[in-house]
Amino acid sequence: MNIVVLVKQVPDSGSERNLRADDKTVDRGSANNVINEMDEYAIEEALKITEAHGGEVTILTMGPDSATEAIRKALQMGPAKGVHVVDDALHGSCALATSKVLAEALKTLNADIVVCGAESTDGRVQVMPQMLAERLGVAALTGARKLTVDGNTLTAERQTEEGFEVVTASTPAIVSVWDTINEPRYPSFKGIMAAKSKPINVLTLADLGVSPDEVGFAGASSAVVDANKRPPRSAGTKVTDDGEGGVALVEFLTAEKFV
Amino acid sequence: MSEVLVVVEQAGGAVKKVTLEMLTMARELGTPAAVVLGAPGTAAAVAGKLAEFGAEKIYVAESDEIDGHLVAPKAAVLAALIQRVSPAAVLIGSTQEGKEIAGRVAVKLDNGLLTDVLALDADGTATQAVFAGSTVVKSKVIRGLPLVTVRPNSLTPTPSAGAGAQEAVDVTVDDAAKLVKVVSRQAEQKGSRPELTEASIVVSGGRGVGSADNFKLVEEFADLLGAAVGASRAATDSGFYPHQFQVGQTGKTVSPQLYVALGISGAIQHRAGMQTSKTIAVVNKDPEAPIFELADFGVVGDLFKVVPQAAEEIRKRK
């Protein structure tokens, strides 16, 4: 199995995140940039598949120069190599343009399965797997909490609002995973050392045959008009339970007409 | 006025609240037209409700193929309908399925897409909350029509009678839309509680609840308030409560009228999923817990004392 895992570098959701004042894009300069958490589960699932069925895992990232760090981190877990799509013209790309570029990159990689996280912690848009499937004409099994590979048949269990459903498709396919699917491994010392020398192939828009005016701000299909920090919530009343804390809570809820 | 298409979400013949919210929103933008995509018989079950909330027209796209495959057939039928009727806007629920349909439609029509929209102005300007609600963004689709997914609980749905005239839609889709088959669907027990993302009140428990057994206390309090039950990641990771009820960065985002956090410290992971709630009440034994920074009302105390007493007090007042 030839597996490609999509990895996105995002600002750490555990610290304050901002949009840049000048062009309203995600401020990466001031942020602690990390691998999107859900992608670690995608890497783990890909490694498990190749461990059981053979094959190789490739990490694919689109992002600025600094995203190389995310690829190296991902490679520490065990994948064989990385591909980094980087081009100044990509800055400001919308989801549609991003999917166009990633689809072109995937065409060069000939994957049986593409695995990705169900969402990124920065945008939380969740559309990339279906957008890529639409562009590539392959199956998309999204939101998997369990995945079974049997020859070229993939079966996934996916959480729904009502319960869960079981879906199936043949490779080539795109699978997106939630954090319920596995427990990502920690990189071993050996893995960390090995990652330093693993190949990362850098691709530009020209390499992929995508014109710069189809991406970035030039090719954007949506635009941010205005962005403002929401004023922080002001803390309200805090009481210490002196034996009547429950009553005080209900008095508050009654005053607010919830009881 | 041009039509505003509202993609209907339903489960077992019951229209989801987000659909009623979108119909309410659509009235301000044009003529609301609902789009039912599902198995044969779906429209018959939901048409009355859709008309009650203002649907002048109901486009009915029903087939076993739509029901038996993941989102792609729905997206194909919807994209064809959009091309045919050229609506003023298309509103889809910002749920996992809604976003997936929208993503495919965006590619098919090369049309911009905005997700997690809270409000949409007549000029197409959308309001979105990003970075866990800490930043409010105004944005616009600049290629194509306003194609947006609307976050549940963004507004209060109000009835307004519409004609509800049904029109059958061509449901022919090619094989490329039938690559993923649904083998089975299983309902998981969830009782009579409202759905987490749609609930007006959410009561959540965290690490402080201590065990799966103790979560009964959270459930009991939720039921007294007619609330949905949520859990922090610490609680779901510890196996206290099922994962699908997780509220937070890696779980559901909720924005209810009232959010009650029991034994939740308020890590950023959790705050990301609930800090746009209108009113927040907290019970936690640690007075330094960051969740108190968000609380409109906080009780520093042992939840195993405070919550039973509060439950008793509510029963007394009922």
Distance, in Å, from the CA atom of B196 to the CA atom of A67, rounded to the nearest integer, reads 35
Mutate to test the interface with B, among A19, A158, A230 (most CBs of B within 10 A): A230
Distance, in Å, from the CA atom of B183 to the CA atom of B149, rounded to the nearest integer, reads 27
- Residue B268: the pLDDT is 85
The ipTM (two decimal places) reads 0.94
Distance, in Å, from the CA atom of A207 to the CA atom of A213, rounded to the nearest integer, reads 15
Q: Is the pLDDT confidence value at B190 over 70?
A: no
Contacts of A173 in chain B (CB under 8 A): 179-180
How many Å lie between the alpha carbon of B163 and the closest alpha carbon of chain A?
A: 30
- Provide the token pair at A2: 């030839």
Contacts of B253 in chain A (CB under 8 A): 124
Q: Do B70 and A94 touch (CB under 8 A)?
A: no
Residues ≥6 apart with Cβ < 8 Å to B93: B7, B9, B16, B18, B19, B22, B149, B150, B152
Listed range (A98-102, A250-254, B128-132, B284-288) with the worst mean pLDDT: B128-132
Q: Do B311 and A246 touch (CB under 8 A)?
A: yes
Helix, strand, coil shares of chain A as percentages rounded to 5? 30, 30, 40
Please name the member of B103, B184, B279 whose beta carbon is closest to the beta carbon of A127. B103
Cβ atoms B13, B46 nearer than 8 A: yes
Please name the member of B96, B250, B308 whose beta carbon is closest to the beta carbon of A143. B96
Contacts of B295 in chain A (CB under 8 A): 235-236, 238
The DSSP call for residue B238 is: T
- Residue B56: the pLDDT is 98
Distance, in Å, from the CA atom of B71 to the CA atom of B120, rounded to the nearest integer, reads 25
Distance, in Å, from the CA atom of B156 to the CA atom of B18, rounded to the nearest integer, reads 9
Please name the member of A38, A173, A245 whose beta carbon is closest to the beta carbon of B306. A245
The position carrying tokens 């990232």 is A61
Handedness of CA A62, A66, A68, A72 (dihedral sign): negative
- Residue A156: the pLDDT is 98
Element housing B17 (H / E):
helix B17-27
Q: Can you tell me the mean pLDDT for B5-32? A: 96
Distance, in Å, from the CA atom of B135 to the CA atom of A123, rounded to the nearest integer, reads 12
Q: Do A246 and B279 touch (CB under 8 A)?
A: no
User: What stretches of B138-274 show up as alpha helix (H) in DSSP?
Assistant: 215-225, 233-237, 268-274
| A89-126: burial string, b at 16+ Cβ within 10 Å, e else | bbebbbbbbbbbbbbbbbeeeebbbbbbbbbbbbbbbb
For residue B27, the one-letter residue type is R
Distance, in Å, from the CA atom of A132 to the CA atom of A134, rounded to the nearest integer, reads 5
Q: Is the pLDDT confidence value at B124 over 70?
A: yes
Q: Do B310 and A96 touch (CB under 8 A)?
A: no
* Closest of B297, B293, B291, B303 to residue B262, by C-alpha: B303
% of chain B exceeding 70 in pLDDT: 99
Please name the member of B115, B176, B275 whose beta carbon is closest to the beta carbon of A137. B176
* Cβ count within 10 A of residue A154: 25
Distance, in Å, from the CA atom of B239 to the CA atom of B211, rounded to the nearest integer, reads 8
Q: Cα dist. A222→A225, B114, B263 in Å? A: 9, 7, 41
- Provide the token pair at B246: 């997780």
> pTM of the predicted model, to two decimals?
0.93
- Mean pLDDT, chain A cut into blocks of 10 residues (259 residues total): 96 84 87 93 98 97 96 98 98 96 98 95 91 98 96 94 91 95 96 97 98 96 93 87 96 95
Distance, in Å, from the CA atom of B267 to the CA atom of B281, rounded to the nearest integer, reads 16
Q: Do B317 and A250 touch (CB under 8 A)?
A: yes
Cβ atoms A163, B185 nearer than 8 A: yes
- Residue B189: the pLDDT is 66
* Cβ count within 10 A of residue B27: 19
Q: What pairing do the DSSP bridges indicate for beta strands A173-177 and B89-93?
A: unpaired
- Residue B150: the pLDDT is 97
How many Å lie between the alpha carbon of A194 and the closest alpha carbon of chain B?
A: 30
Please name the residue of chain B whose CA is at the shortest distance from the CA of residue A120: B250
Q: Can you tell me the mean pLDDT for B192-216? A: 95
* Closest of B77, B82, B27 to residue B50, by C-alpha: B27
The position carrying tokens 């013949």 is B13
DSSP string, B20-67: HHHHHHHHTTSEEEEEEEESTTHHHHHHHHHHHTT-SEEEEEE-HHHH
Distance, in Å, from the CA atom of B47 to the CA atom of B103, rounded to the nearest integer, reads 26
